[in-house]
């Protein structure tokens, strides 16, 4: 539940920030439209995608004008086809146009992460290998992108630096070795998962001997990944990382490792092409009280 609460708080803060950076002291162009003018709008996607970001959009328009009504025809995690309309809005025309850009900005970004994740998850179908995200997220979008990954069918790695140990090359050097680093982690917080990043099979053996829960195999060749699986014999969870793309993903999965982590699904994303159009801008004064 803690994560759900943190996400809800994050959504509220994000919506406030997105509106503030766009709105400033006021929307001067929207001021050209009569205050009493009501309109309907539709949001469509110009390309196939996986939708993500519903709660952010709801919160943006709630803050802008409580009279605006949103009618979603799809939910987070749903696949959308090119040209598909998935949201209809109704309310004061000023508010609809003011909220257009901040809401599409968050939708295009989170849907991009969900879409990239789903593409990888589909490629992994049948292998039993889990796709994990990383901390290589866009600034200020950590929880939002982690949520988008889950909407795309991926799993969340640690959220930050507090909820698990990930002992990397520089930590190992500073601690004087893998065994010392793992021992120290167990003494500091016995309840947390301890993961060690290794560069070769010799370091893998050290991490296994030290009792690591998970070992991240960084940029291993396919042959070395297979050797790592044989050596580990299920003593730790094996995570492959590095050189992960559309062409290598399946081959990496078929080596027998447990999971693959990818920074690309959060940092190398291309925004989904979305469009909001007014479909009926006739005056709707009578609807204000409905």
Is residue 146 among the annotated active site residues?
Answer: no
How many angstroms separate the CA atoms of 100 and 276, rounded?
7
Q: Is 285 a catalytic residue?
A: no
Active site residue 168: yes
Catalytic residue among 197, 203, 239, 258: 197
Is 267 labeled as catalytic in the residue annotation? no
Cα–Cα distances in angstroms (integers) from residue 113 to residues 10, 15, 80, 116, 268, in the given order: 17, 18, 14, 5, 9
- In the sheet with 85-92, reading across from the earlier edge strand, the strands are 69-72, 85-92, 38-45, 274-280
Tokens of 49: 């995608």
Among 136, 155, 235, 267, the active-site one is 136
Q: Is 239 a catalytic residue?
A: no
Q: Is the dihedral of CA 93, 97, 100, 103 positive or negative?
A: negative
Catalytic option among 67, 155, 168, 227: 168
Which of 100, 218, 239, 258 is labelled catalytic?
218
Using CA atoms of 140, 144, 146, 151 in order, give the dihedral in degrees to the nearest 10. -160
Query: Which among 62, 101, 119, 142 is annotated as catalytic?
Result: 101
* Backbone φ/ψ region at 74: left (φ over 0), alpha (ψ -120 to 50), beta: beta
Q: Which residues are catalytic?
A: 101, 136, 168, 197, 218
């Amino acid at each position: 539940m803690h994560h759900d609460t943190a996400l809800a708080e994050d959504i509220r803060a994000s919506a406030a920030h997105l509106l503030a950076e766009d709105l400033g002291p006021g929307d001067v162009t929207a001021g050209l439209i009569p205050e009493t003018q009501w309109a309907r709008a539709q949001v469509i996607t110009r390309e196939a995608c996986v939708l993500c970001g519903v709660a952010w959009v709801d919160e943006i328009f709630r803050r802008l004008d409580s009279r605006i009504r949103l009618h979603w025809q799809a939910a987070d995690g749903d696949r959308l086809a090119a040209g598909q309309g998935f949201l209809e809005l109704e309310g004061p025309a000023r508010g609809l146009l003011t909220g257009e850009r901040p809401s599409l900005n968050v939708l295009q970004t989170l849907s991009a992460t969900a879409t990239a994740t789903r593409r990888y998850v589909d490629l992994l179908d049948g292998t039993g290998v889990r796709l994990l995200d990383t901390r290589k997220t866009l600034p200020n979008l950590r929880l939002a992108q982690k949520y988008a990954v889950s909407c795309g069918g991926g799993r969340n790695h640690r959220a930050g630096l507090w909820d698990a140990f990930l002992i990397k090359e520089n930590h190992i050097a500073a601690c004087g070795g893998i065994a010392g680093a793992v021992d120290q982690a167990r003494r500091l917080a016995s309840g947390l998962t301890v993961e060690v990043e290794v560069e070769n099979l010799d370091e893998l053996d050290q991490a296994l001997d030290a009792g690591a829960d998970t070992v991240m195999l960084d940029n291993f060749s396919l042959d070395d990944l297979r050797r790592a699986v044989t050596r580990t014999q299920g003593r730790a969870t094996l995570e492959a990382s590095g050189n992960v793309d559309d062409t290598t993903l399946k081959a990496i999965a078929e080596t027998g490792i447990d999971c693959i982590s990818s920074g690309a699904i959060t940092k190398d994303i291309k925004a989904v092409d979305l469009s909001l159009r007014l479909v009926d801008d006739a005056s709707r004064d009578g609807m204000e009280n409905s």
